[in-house]
Structure 1
């Protein structure tokens, strides 16, 4: 590392954060840790975000990048590639760092020899007041530390619980992982954490080092009501590749209570175990992935024979399974008949009212 090379690169992405960006920038510049550079990537904001950032450019720690709007993955990747530090600390233009965030994460990385670190967060509202009320993120960001196997299992069954704006990760690891998925706008962080836990330990500091803002307008990209159809699509694509490059040892350790045959081996048996595991998910679209895998696997006579002998699962069981498959994510579930009847009643009522009006 060169004499003037920073140890940490804070990469902040921002888009139309004029209400919050000033406080967010100041929270980084006022860190107790001094050896850092501050890369701000403005993803084509159309409000006064650019003007506010420009007012801070007399601070030589800041590297400012303005790009046309391309989405959060393109923005954060741009910042990572520009970074000179050994470590990347992620940040968003609507959140706030506590003053000792960088110092505590750097100390923790040296003390625990951990290369990927997250922390707990406080939740704040639009006016930076601490939130005590219920909200969508309250129950999953401040989780206890887990082993790699426990993290993989939790990500599979429960989705993401790691807060991206608390991430403190060695740059080389992110480069090795291929950076964030450009095709994803809502779940790119979930996709990244899955890739990382397949190879590395991940630690969560049980201390609140960032204030995470819950927007009054529900514009947090992770909010469940924000483009849930696209979120479902992205989830499906991510889950299709969930077990790529997962070693058989990590798989067995992570899902030992869900495995059908504890003595399964690499190859066909491992692929069958993956398919059966998908069927254990609470998410319809994930169960569908398992059914799809079995649909294609069992077309091979050799695989079919192994499935019947080792798992008592053959074509008859596949037909029974696919008879209940819901390819529309619950639209035609066992509950929808009732809703359909209500819908038809409303339609008929509307027709009667219209007929009376016309008459």
Structure 2
């Protein structure tokens, strides 16, 4: 039997915690390490956890709101088993979920596996997958073929509560970026892929994602998300690993071009200019203008003129 370290992050989810705790107790008694990190809840979650203190489970109760990244990092720091799973306290695992996830991890030789979660409502009743399309796209094969290119060019399609993989992945990739409040998982998947780990979205399912009015992804601050997307995009051209992978990818598109001689900002700008997300396209435009200020001919190798870049900017204005 395998032993898993399950890290559950929680903030003001008392009704869901009450339903989840009995299942967590069963998993703990089966030999799994259960770590619940509460981010200074104010709805009675802390009192609930204290009342259910169990020698087989670890509760990390913060007195100051630190954010989901800090809560996840605190849990990961306590993980000791070879396998790690992540879960939000308003979500749930399907029966035998660890066995299903492990089988996929071994079958595919992946380092981290995810799945399209079953969507449920407050009462645990299944919902149609098209209610939350981000996690149920039909092009997971395209993601699995080239996770990094997919994440950069098409955005995040991963449900963090389905994460299952080797603890070494988290040790080598590092901690979640605590300066990001909404896109911390997206940035982490990119970083893991850049580090060289194989990410895979499975067709099997082992977790449930609860759709309710307080989902972080539903209560997103659009301006903050825009700033975080820009921050992630900007960090890419300072990441040598990411740029080297992008260089190889572009070399297959432009075999006559020596990408080693091209400014990393130009490479990333070219990629962002083709992004499906207008926010990241606009970041590509801004980055392109910076590059053009230094070298007015820097995009000619890619068949892009100043006028075409200007037209992209106008189309998204």
**TM interval, short-chain normalised:** 0.7 to 0.9
CA RMSD between the two structures: 3.0
Question: How far apart are 1:148 and its partner, in Å?
Answer: 5.5
- Report the CA distance shift for 1:65/1:29 in structure 2 as closer, same or farther (over 3 A): same
2:112 and 2:174 map into 1 onto residues whose CA distance is: 16
2:141 and 2:31 map into 1 onto residues whose CA distance is: 28
- Report the CA distance shift for 1:208/1:276 in structure 2 as closer, same or farther (over 3 A): same
Give unpaired runs (5+ residues) of structure 1. Answer: 1-5, 334-359
Counterparts in 2 of 1:1-359, with a 5 A limit? 7-31=3-27, 34-58=30-54, 60-67=55-62, 68-132=64-128, 134-137=130-133, 140=136, 144-146=140-142, 150-198=146-194, 199-215=196-212, 217=213, 219-223=214-218, 226-242=220-236, 244=239, 245-246=241-242, 248=244, 251-253=247-249, 259=253, 263-268=257-262, 271-300=265-294, 303-304=295-296, 307-308=299-300, 310-311=301-302, 317-318=305-306, 321-322=309-310, 325=313, 333=317
2:53 and 2:126 map into 1 onto residues whose CA distance is: 30
- Report the CA distance shift for 1:63/1:325 in structure 2 as closer, same or farther (over 3 A): same
- Secondary structure of the residue aligned to 2:189 is helix
Question: Using CA pairs below 8 Å that are at least 6 residues apart, which structure has the higher relative contact order?
Answer: 2
- Report the CA distance shift for 1:93/1:278 in structure 2 as closer, same or farther (over 3 A): same
Question: How far apart are 1:113 and its partner, in Å?
Answer: 3.3
- Report the CA distance shift for 1:290/1:147 in structure 2 as closer, same or farther (over 3 A): closer
Q: Counterpart of 1:343?
A: none
- Report the CA distance shift for 1:156/1:321 in structure 2 as closer, same or farther (over 3 A): same
Aligned residues: 312
1:211-238 CA-to-partner distances (Å, cap 9, x unmatched) read: 11001x2x21122x52122112111111
1:9–1:88 contact (8 Å) kept in structure 2: yes
1:7-29 CA-to-partner distances (Å, cap 9, x unmatched) read: 32110000000111122233333
Give unpaired runs (5+ residues) of structure 2. Answer: none
Question: How far apart are 1:37 and its partner, in Å?
Answer: 0.7
Q: Following superposition, which runs of at least 4 residues in structure 1 exceed 6 angstroms of deviation?
A: none
Question: How far apart are 1:261 and its partner, in Å?
Answer: 5.9
1:320 and 1:112 map into 2 onto residues whose CA distance is: 42
1:120–1:143 contact (8 Å) kept in structure 2: no
1:25–1:93 contact (8 Å) kept in structure 2: no
1:27 and 1:144 map into 2 onto residues whose CA distance is: 30
1:52 and 1:7 map into 2 onto residues whose CA distance is: 26
1:265-314 CA-to-partner distances (Å, cap 9, x unmatched) read: 213266533322211123233223222333333344xx545655x3465x
2:83 and 2:242 map into 1 onto residues whose CA distance is: 25
1:53-94 CA-to-partner distances (Å, cap 9, x unmatched) read: 223323x22011101211100000000011111221101111
1:218-263 CA-to-partner distances (Å, cap 9, x unmatched) read: x21122x52122112111111222353225456544895xx45653
Which structure has greater helix proportion? 2
Bigger Rg, structure 1 or 2: 1
TM-score (norm 2): 0.86
TM-score (norm 1): 0.76
